[in-house]
């Protein structure tokens, strides 16, 4: 009789699922903490956007909104508020704050990167290029604005200002979100990096093409070694 296999923890299962980094072929771009933070914000945001659009249509064309969907929307909103700070605290706080500092720091090279895009010129970038920095900053502002107007609307459900503000911000986010999804999953040049936000590992050729300064420890200090993939 074979001995039963030991029960794996969630941490061990996640580690087993991550492909090994092959020197010269692949590169560890994001760690588990970064991936969990990303999806801890992205999934509630997408669910809120979808359910919010249905509620908005119901409000325009029907006399009454779905109470069940409305409760789901509110509870998912609470998750959107709580999940990012929770994952920041229980994960690798150092690397998350490091990423935030990188995103909020605009360098002369970032300006050169923006100027080079219409001319299709190559300018080296670090862990985040200027496009990704702008996307992250705008998405943070949009998310915080939706959270604030969402709480306001929850407290004052008959208020027109919080309702229209909440709706218009949500509609405005769709263009930014659509561009982000396009670059991550469809655009041939950048979709190679999509798996980085799934299991962390990307082709080395992608990093060399789009984030070459991330390979230079003198250009950017990466605390990846402090956490396994």
Indicate which CATH number applies to the domain containing 153: 1.20.950.20
- pTM to 2 decimals? 0.86
For 43-97, the pLDDT digits (tens) are 999 999 999 999 988 888 877 788 999 999 999 999 999 999 999 999 999 999 9
Mean pLDDT computed over 103-122: 94
Cβ(207)–Cβ(27) under 8 Å?
Answer: yes
Residue 5 lies in a domain: no
Cβ(86)–Cβ(44) under 8 Å?
Answer: no
User: In the Cβ-directed half-sphere of 9, how many Cα atoms lie within 13 Å?
Assistant: 3
CB atoms under 10 Å from CB of 146, counted, come to: 23
**Alpha-carbon distance values, 111 to 58, 84, 115, 178, 189 (Å):** 44, 29, 6, 24, 21
Using the predicted structure, report yes or no on whether residue 221 has a pLDDT greater than 80.
no
pLDDT mean across residues, the chain: 89
Q: What is the pLDDT of residue 3?
A: 56
Residue 217 lies in a domain: yes
Q: Which domain holds residue 198?
A: 10-226
Residue 48 lies in a domain: yes
Least confident of 74-78, 79-83, 157-161, 203-207: 157-161
Mean pLDDT computed over 196-210: 95
Mean pLDDT computed over 8-30: 73
Q: What is the pLDDT of residue 4?
A: 58
For 20-39, the pLDDT digits (tens) are 888 899 999 999 999 999 99
Residue 4 lies in a domain: no
How many domains is the chain partitioned into structurally? 1
Residue 1 lies in a domain: no
Q: What is the pLDDT of residue 2?
A: 56
Percent of the chain past pLDDT 90, that is, above it, reads 75
Residue 144 lies in a domain: yes
């Amino acid at each position: 009789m074979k001995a039963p296999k030991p029960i794996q923890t969630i941490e061990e299962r996640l580690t087993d699922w991550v492909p090994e980094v092959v020197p010269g072929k692949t590169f560890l771009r994001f760690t588990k903490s970064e991936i969990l933070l990303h999806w801890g914000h992205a999934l509630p945001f997408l669910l809120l956007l979808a359910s919010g659009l249905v509620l908005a249509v119901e409000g325009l064309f029907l006399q009454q909104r779905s109470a069940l969907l409305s409760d789901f929307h509110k509870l998912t909103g609470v998750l959107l508020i709580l999940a990012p700070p929770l994952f920041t605290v229980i994960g690798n706080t150092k690397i998350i704050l490091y990423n935030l500092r990188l995103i909020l720091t605009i360098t002369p090279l970032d300006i050169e990167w923006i100027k080079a895009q219409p001319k299709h010129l190559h300018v080296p970038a670090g862990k985040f290029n200027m496009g990704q920095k702008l996307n992250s900053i705008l998405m943070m502002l949009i998310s915080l604005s939706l959270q604030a107007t969402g709480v306001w609307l929850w407290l004052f459900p008959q208020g027109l200002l919080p309702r229209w503000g909440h709706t218009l911000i949500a509609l405005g986010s769709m263009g930014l979100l659509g561009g982000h999804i396009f670059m991550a999953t469809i655009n041939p040049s950048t979709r190679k990096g999509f798996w980085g936000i799934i299991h962390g590992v990307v082709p080395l050729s992608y990093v060399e093409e789009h984030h070459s300064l991330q390979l230079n420890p003198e250009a950017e200090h990466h605390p990846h070694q402090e956490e396994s993939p």
